[in-house]
């Protein structure tokens, strides 16, 4: 479990996080939503060791991580998928994957074995292995970015606004890839502007406002709250212009 306890943190001009308490259960997909400036991205920066809290603690599996460097946080098992365009376009998919592994390990054989494992899970990694990354479609690129972030074998994957600027088809690839990664045992913590997308994908939802967690509930319950859209986002969260339609096999067959 990841736990933020009474965290105050910011950028020098005052605290953005104002006594944040937050729990991310093992095995969950936890999505943080909230208005602009609520401090959502700051939570991720604190977690990844880019900012250290002025007050409070962040724990992973009971061990304090709030004073660690980004490299140490990665080594502890928390990996982040950059927002987008994170691949080296002129390198092949395979070489991009290798680079993801060399960050932590110099053992070439172990790194190659890990690429093979991930290529079994994500067919794109195998099928496009020798293609330059810049020749992939948006959805394929996202899949490779996610797969590469798994090269270090993290227990937690962090996604910062994974649908930002993406077309609906690529959003669908993000949706399915995230579900797959989670079903294989990786905990996901994400921040998402697209509230409907994020809460449909997540098992747990957290609503942040002014640097604190206002609500923390099962994501389905948050989605059903009639006051959510009006209270925090200025529009109904079922507004089709506010979110792409995400098709899931079990709940929705209307297509993306
Ligand atoms: N690098 C920075 N230096 C100084 N202030 C920052 C920096 N990054 C963010 N802030 C400020 O911290 C506050 C919270 O920003 P943060 O990015 O965490 O919010 P957010 O909830 O993710 O919002 P958004 O959806 O707009 O990204 C904002 O007032 C923002 O201006």
Q: What is the pLDDT of residue 55?
A: 96
**For strand 156-160 and strand 2-10, is the pairing parallel, antiparallel, or unpaired?**
unpaired
Q: What is the pLDDT of residue 236?
A: 46
Q: What is the pLDDT of residue 232?
A: 59
Whether residue 256 is contained in a domain is answered as no
Q: What is the pLDDT of residue 230?
A: 67
What is the phi/psi pair of residue 31, to 5°?
A: -115, 125
Domain that holds residue 17: 2-77+154-242
SS3 90: coil
Mean pLDDT, the chain cut into blocks of 10 residues (256 residues total):
96 92 97 92 95 96 94 93 84 93 78 91 93 91 91 94 86 90 95 91 95 94 81 49 44 38
Q: Measuring from each residue's beta carbon to the nearest atom of ligand 1, which residues come in under 6 Å?
A: 11, 16, 34, 36-42, 193
Instruction: Give the contacts of 112 (CB within 8 A, at least 6 positions apart).
Output: 98
* Helical residues (DSSP H) of 9-137, grouped into ranges: 40-47, 70-75, 93-102, 108-121, 123-127
Q: What is the pTM of this model?
A: 0.86
Whether residue 233 is contained in a domain is answered as yes
Q: What is the residue with the minimal CA distance to atom 10 of ligand 1?
A: 11
Q: Domain containing 23 — which CATH number?
A: 3.40.50.300
Q: Which ligand 1 atom is at minimum distance from the Cα of 42?
A: 18
Best mutation site among 18, 42, 194 for ligand 1, i.e. most ligand atoms within 8 A of its Cβ?
42
Whether residue 109 is contained in a domain is answered as no
């Amino acid at each position: 479990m990841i736990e933020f306890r009474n965290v105050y943190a910011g950028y020098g001009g005052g605290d953005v996080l104002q006594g944040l308490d937050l729990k991310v259960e093992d095995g969950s997909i936890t999505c943080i939503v909230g208005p602009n400036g609520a401090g959502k991205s700051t939570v991720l920066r604190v977690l990844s060791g880019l900012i250290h809290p002025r007050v409070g603690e962040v724990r992973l599996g009971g061990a304090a991580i709030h004073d660690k460097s980004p490299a140490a946080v990665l080594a502890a098992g928390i990996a982040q998928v950059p927002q987008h365009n994170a691949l080296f376009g002129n390198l092949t998919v395979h070489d991009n994957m290798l680079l993801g592994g060399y960050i932590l390990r110099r053992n070439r054989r172990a790194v190659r074995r890990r690429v093979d494992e991930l290529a079994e899970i994500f067919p794109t990694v195998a099928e496009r292995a020798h293609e330059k990354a810049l020749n992939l479609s948006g959805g394929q690129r996202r899949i490779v970015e996610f797969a590469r972030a798994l090269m270090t074998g993290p227990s937690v994957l962090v996604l910062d606004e994974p649908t930002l600027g993406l077309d609906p088809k690529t959003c669908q690839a993000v949706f399915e890839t995230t579900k797959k990664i989670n079903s294989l045992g990786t905990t996901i913590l994400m921040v998402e502007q697209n509230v409907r997308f994020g809460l449909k994908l997540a098992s747990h939802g957290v609503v942040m406002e002014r640097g604190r967690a206002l609500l923390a509930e099962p994501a389905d319950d948050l989605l059903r709250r009639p006051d959510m859209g009006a209270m925090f986002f200025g529009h109904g969260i079922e507004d089709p212009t506010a979110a792409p339609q995400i098709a899931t096999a079990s709940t929705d067959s209307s297509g993306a």
